[in-house]
A and B are shown apart, each in its own frame.
Chain A
């Protein structure tokens, strides 16, 4: 037996145990009796929505406060909500909460923009062979905890996906080339068993007189969405994407994405969507072309 080695090994174990113990002890709460003590939301917590950009976007504002009895700050806290499968994922809500203060109440004021056009476009893309429209909704959240000499030993992020069935009994009476150059058109009819979300969005657009709207880009792509009453409680959504000359709407949209994102024009008003959302939107339009059987 080598005494020197044994002493060194004991010293290493002691140092590691000491560092681990101090880090854990500093982070574990001592006066916790229920989940509310770890994390509770104040009663004045509210979520407000308002329509902006001429109905093309919805602004969601969250106000409230979170109280915690954790002995250390929760850092880098974020909540993201995405819609769509990987590859055509649209961010519909993002909240960078930052720090939730230790043993304190943290006020949260977060707002995000929910793009209506993307939800409408998904209504057409998401139809499966059984006539259901399912929209994958992904909630991501993450945080860092247990500070240890400037880094965090716990750094977790979780993506929870829920496949929301927003409508059933959907048929696709029309698909193929639409109106305009290099165009594609798809029309679906929902037999009335749509979820409140789709019903609500469709209804609010119809009520606002926006049952027929066109998004255009500066280089000539246009995407027209038309909501029609098909009688018998059925609603129809028709999407027509048109390009210019030989170029399809997909090519033009790709060309139109700039440094800041993609600028779309609706009813004479410009609004810009982020690069990530633009990529998801372009992917949706590509799917539209494929569904219609037109080469994008």
Chain B
């Protein structure tokens, strides 16, 4: 629809171009590459933010990076739970970015959505098993003093229950890409039909010219 008040509704333009909304329902390589780039930038920002937060918790001040690297918490070192979690999450991020190639309402988008849920479950199991199902919350911070000569040295949290609970949530989440597929199927078909008709028309115009 033309937003220009001086111009009347341009049916020809509407008919011959795909709108922003319609493009969402069609496959697009450009969208996939854009998603990969943005997701990786976001991932790096989260990684850096976590390092700064961990450094802050440990030393009480936002130090320069060399300082943080020296005092970094055990969780963020290779093999530490946060490190494993962050590195293990990269394939999941890439998987969902690649899934953006497919338009909403396609089988590809739905299948990638379902695979992503299972990938998160797998990631959850690997990370939690890697932490031997129990996490000492005070491992990175050291002891917490609660009075003269008394301190809390360890706070262990068993993760088995959490693992099962989050697995259930992720299994439920499989419904979301399926629901999205069902709800967008019609729009996807319409957008696809429009794209085909535009292409046909263009081909016809070329042939005529």
Contact = CB atoms under 8 A, between A and B. Distances in A.
Partners in one complex: yes
Q: How large is the interface on A (under 10, 10 to 19, 20 to 34, 35 or more residues)?
A: 35 or more
B150 A160 contact: yes
A163 B161 contact: no
A8 to B, nearest CB: 3
Contact of A160 (B153, B156, B165): B153
Interface stretch (A9-17, A97-105, A212-220, A277-285): A9-17
Contacts of B161: 146, 148, 151-155
Contacts of B182: 4
Q: How large is the interface on B (under 10, 10 to 19, 20 to 34, 35 or more residues)?
A: 20 to 34
Nearest to A14: B172
A8 B178 contact: yes
A2 B152 contact: no
Q: Is the interface of B mostly helix, strand, loop or mixed?
A: helix
A159 B164 contact: no
Contacts, number: 106
A24 to B, nearest CB: 12
Given A2-B184, A162-B149, A144 B158 contact: yes
A158 B156 contact: yes
A2 B164 contact: no
Contact of B168 (A19, A150, A156): A19
Interface string B105-145: 00000000000000000000000000000100000000100
Contact of B153 (A3, A138, A144, A155): A138
Contact of A156 (B153, B157, B169, B175): B157
A150 B163 CA distance: 12
B160 A152 contact: yes
Interface in B161-209: 161-165, 168-169, 172-173, 175-176, 178-184
Contact of B175 (A11, A152, A164, A165): A11
B106 to A, nearest CB: 13
Contacts of B157: 155-157
Given A4-B180, A8-B176, A164 B152 contact: no
Contacts of A165: 149
A2 B180 contact: yes
B155 A161 contact: no
A73 to B, nearest CB: 15
B79 interface: no
B171 to A, nearest CB: 9
Contacts of A15: 172
Nearest to A138: B153
Nearest to B183: A4
Contacts of B146: 160
B181 to A, nearest CB: 7
B176 A140 contact: no
